[in-house]
A and B are shown apart, each in its own frame.
Chain A
Amino acid sequence: MARVVLRNVVKNFGDVRIVKNVNLEIEDKEFLVLVGPSGCGKSTTLRMVAGLEDLTSGEIIIGDRIVNDVHPKDRGIAMVFQNYALYPHMDVYENMAFGLKLAKMPKAEIDKRINEVAETLGITELLKRKPKELSGGQRQRVAVGRAIVREPDVLLMDEPLSNLDAKLRVQMRTELIKLHNRLKNTIIYVTHDQTEAMTMGTRIVVMKDGVIQQVAAPQEIYDKPVNVFVAGFIGSPTMNFINCRVISDDGKITLDAGSFRLPAPAERFTLLEKHINKEVLMGIRPENIHVGENAAQTYGDSRVEALVEVVEQLGSEVLLYLKADRYSLTVRAQAGTRAATEESIPVFINMNKIHIFETETETALF
């Protein structure tokens, strides 16, 4: 078992800096999810840990060794590739045995390990099949099996579920979580799917353009995003953003969005005072905007008139896509909420849940 440390890791491809000074400490037994939009350098970072890419500068430590110059096979890692990368001409058993054979492990031991892993993953009946005779989900399992049969200290996964259909993806998600609970090895998991990140990670690393934006537990990332990017990237539907001017009147602070005004919560006054008469960006998650009678009573003083553009009945909830002035608002409402398109309705913002970001730096005030 091992912890992994990335220290000032930089990666250039040609003249382009892809990974910019990444510092990261991954605890032993942690399930760390690296998430970010396409092309932000997640795979590159993971591949540097695996030893498939050299570092331009910085160092990577696995366990208590600097592994920059250690061959991938000696790093105590195993990797699950996005396209599984199963050897097409070998059957499942041979695929899993390949690395062990090369490591000169005795046949009996190989056999024992493979049977155990196959049992764990429910692929025992598939051992004699070739990859092309497997379904996507089965291949996925085999790819995981091939990785864990080596009993790696650190398991690296690069979007391992992205080739599965939605239902299977959800199922494999829970299976991987269970597997981690059982094996207790360190996992670094790359995805661009924020739902996967939220549900699987013990901690999440949000990356953008090769720079780490925030590292925190899922709930913390969700509740306290450090900047506009993280706020918008994590959470689905995404957070609503409204440009406001901070106004002080009568010892109270109000957020002026032009055609409507919202009262800032009292406990935030001190933070906002420095920004009086300045533009800020207010963020509010869809579940913190409410509709209906009860909402009118609770949040009556943060009322906004909005035009209903689209109504999505999801069964368990209703998503309302609204337009208020020049802002698009998404509202997550209770099942049974009725609204007609093109109708104007009042919505009520729970001002205790708002986020405020500086306009220039896009960093969060709170």
Chain B
Amino acid sequence: MKGMNQATDLVSTGSTEKRAERKLTDRYQALLFLAPAVLVIVSVFLYPVVKLVQYSLQVQDYGQWKWVGLANYRGLLNDDIFRQAAKNNAILLLCVPILVILSIFFAILLYEKIRGWQAYRSIVFLPYLLAIPVVGIVFSYIFQYNGILNEILRSVGLGRLALDWLADSKLALPTVMVVIIWKELGFGVILFLSRLLSVPEELYEAAKLDGASWWQTHWNITIPQLRGIIQFYSIVAVITMISWVFNYVYVMTKGGPGTSTMVSELYIYQQGFRFNLMGTASAVGVILLIVTSIVIFLQFKVRGGLDSDTE
């Protein structure tokens, strides 16, 4: 026994020095291994960003690029259409809390009906697998004035509710939001459900013995357990609403009627490719980039402040 202790001592003292040494070489080696990846990332991501910023400070005058300083940005601030687009993006952010709450709700329902969940899972997840243009086209038909939804409403005597969902400037944006939520929900549900499945069942049993009701259980156990995922999903959803909704709008409304469903991405598309104002388009691109970067930065900030309590 004594001999063995000594032996382990030797090994451990030897290894502390070695470990320090190894840490250093590990560091260099790590950098070395990272270098190619860093290079790729720099060239793939940094180059376009630099170019984007550069364009946003110029205008194209008969094929010639000219520096104009912040004129493109100033122009944007005075453009009602851009302001409408920005406002619409902001309104789309209302989808985020709705998505979070609905995802958690459905995830809990599926969790509690765990026996059949394989079948439900595919149904919930299906919309997420469909291509957005397909979804957009299908919903355009559904929401047309003489579309399926209104047909149904009329046939059950609710004809008064048969509105022109996509052509009414007050209704178009909410209608688009419904489609976005329908499509994006599946991802959230799967995300929350997979986290729920890894929550030890005994926690729920302990809560039951402690006398917690359905609400108390989920409020006190489930939600805290999901906190990290809620944050992650919220960020993803925020970014989606800011810079990933082009397809929905383009397919369903083209930004109309009027500018009632105009969003920043569609604005970029129109400025850049319809009016050939690449400078303006780039300026919007830069703004979107900055906004999403801030969101991502904030999420890291918040995350760093929280300690994960999940085992």
Query: Are these two chains actual partners, yes or no?
Result: yes
Contact of A87 among B209, B216, B220 (CB under 8 A): B220
From 187 to 229 in chain A, residues with beta carbon under 8 angstroms from any chain B beta carbon are: none
**How far does the Cβ of B18 sit from chain A's closest Cβ, in whole Å?**
29
Q: Which residues of A contact B208 (CB under 8 A)?
A: 51-52, 72-73
CA separation between A146 and B209, bound complex, in Å?
11
Are B210 and A52 closer than 8 Å at their CB atoms? no
**How far does the Cβ of A149 sit from chain B's closest Cβ, in whole Å?**
11
Write the chain B residue with the least CB distance to A50. B209
Write the chain A residue with the least CB distance to B203. A85
From 189 to 224 in chain B, residues with beta carbon under 8 angstroms from any chain A beta carbon are: 200, 202-203, 205-212, 216, 220-221, 224
CA separation between A164 and B225, bound complex, in Å?
25
Contact of A52 among B205, B216, B221, B307 (CB under 8 A): B205
The verdict on B310 contacting chain A, using a C-beta distance below 8 Å, is yes
The verdict on A102 contacting chain B, using a C-beta distance below 8 Å, is yes
Q: Which residues of B contact A180 (CB under 8 A)?
A: none
Are B205 and A102 closer than 8 Å at their CB atoms? no
Are B310 and A99 closer than 8 Å at their CB atoms? no
Given contacts A85-B202, A85-B203, contact A99 B311 (CB under 8 A): no
The verdict on A78 contacting chain B, using a C-beta distance below 8 Å, is yes
Q: Which residues of A contact B311 (CB under 8 A)?
A: 88, 132
Q: Which residues of A contact B210 (CB under 8 A)?
A: 73, 98-99, 102
The verdict on A83 contacting chain B, using a C-beta distance below 8 Å, is yes
Q: Which residues of A contact B211 (CB under 8 A)?
A: 71-74, 99, 102-103
Given contacts A88-B225, A89-B225, contact A83 B200 (CB under 8 A): yes
CA separation between A298 and B225, bound complex, in Å?
68
CA separation between A99 and B205, bound complex, in Å?
12
The verdict on B112 contacting chain A, using a C-beta distance below 8 Å, is no
CA separation between A266 and B216, bound complex, in Å?
69
Question: What interface size band does chain A fall in?
Answer: 20 to 34
The verdict on B17 contacting chain A, using a C-beta distance below 8 Å, is no
Write the chain B residue with the least CB distance to A103. B211
Contact of B212 among A77, A86, A102 (CB under 8 A): A102
CA separation between A88 and B223, bound complex, in Å?
12
The verdict on A79 contacting chain B, using a C-beta distance below 8 Å, is yes
Given contacts A130-B309, A132-B309, contact A87 B212 (CB under 8 A): no
CA separation between A3 and B26, bound complex, in Å?
64
Q: Which residues of B contact A52 (CB under 8 A)?
A: 205, 208-209
Interface on chain B toward A: helix, strand, loop, or mixed SS? helix
The verdict on A321 contacting chain B, using a C-beta distance below 8 Å, is no
Are A77 and B209 closer than 8 Å at their CB atoms? yes
Are A99 and B225 closer than 8 Å at their CB atoms? no
CA separation between A81 and B210, bound complex, in Å?
13
**How far does the Cβ of B157 sit from chain A's closest Cβ, in whole Å?**
45
From 78 to 101 in chain A, residues with beta carbon under 8 angstroms from any chain B beta carbon are: 78-79, 81-83, 85-89, 98-99
Could you give, for residues 45-88 of chain A, a 1 whenever the CB lies within 8 Å of some chain B CB and a 0 otherwise? 00000111000000000000000000111100111011101111
Given contacts A83-B200, A85-B203, A87-B220, contact A73 B309 (CB under 8 A): no
Most buried by A among B200, B203, B210: B210
Could you give, for residues 105-147 of chain B, a 1 whenever the CB lies within 8 Å of some chain A CB and a 0 otherwise? 0000000000000000000000000000000000000000000
Q: Which residues of A contact B202 (CB under 8 A)?
A: 81-83, 85
CA separation between A174 and B60, bound complex, in Å?
85
Q: Which residues of B contact A78 (CB under 8 A)?
A: 209
Given contacts A73-B210, A99-B210, A103-B211, contact A87 B205 (CB under 8 A): no
**How far does the Cβ of B210 sit from chain A's closest Cβ, in whole Å?**
4
CA separation between A353 and B29, bound complex, in Å?
71
**How far does the Cβ of A14 sit from chain B's closest Cβ, in whole Å?**
12
CA separation between A89 and B311, bound complex, in Å?
9
CA separation between A73 and B209, bound complex, in Å?
5
CA separation between A52 and B227, bound complex, in Å?
27
From 100 to 157 in chain A, residues with beta carbon under 8 angstroms from any chain B beta carbon are: 102-103, 130, 132, 146
**How far does the Cβ of A49 sit from chain B's closest Cβ, in whole Å?**
11
Write the chain B residue with the least CB distance to A75. B209
Are A79 and B209 closer than 8 Å at their CB atoms? yes
Are A81 and B206 closer than 8 Å at their CB atoms? yes
CA separation between A77 and B205, bound complex, in Å?
13
**How far does the Cβ of B138 sit from chain A's closest Cβ, in whole Å?**
42
CA separation between A74 and B205, bound complex, in Å?
14
Q: List 29 A-B contacts (CB under 8 A).
A: A52-B205, A52-B208, A52-B209, A71-B211, A72-B211, A73-B209, A77-B209, A79-B206, A79-B209, A81-B206, A83-B200, A85-B200, A85-B202, A85-B203, A85-B206, A86-B206, A87-B203, A87-B220, A88-B310, A89-B224, A89-B225, A89-B227, A89-B309, A98-B220, A102-B212, A130-B307, A130-B309, A132-B309, A146-B206
Question: What 3 A-B pairs have minimum CB-CB distances, sorted nearest first?
Answer: A73-B211, A99-B210, A85-B202
Identify 9 new A-B residue pairs, CB closer than 8 A, beyond the known A73-B210, A83-B200: A72-B209, A73-B211, A85-B202, A87-B206, A87-B207, A88-B224, A98-B207, A130-B307, A132-B309
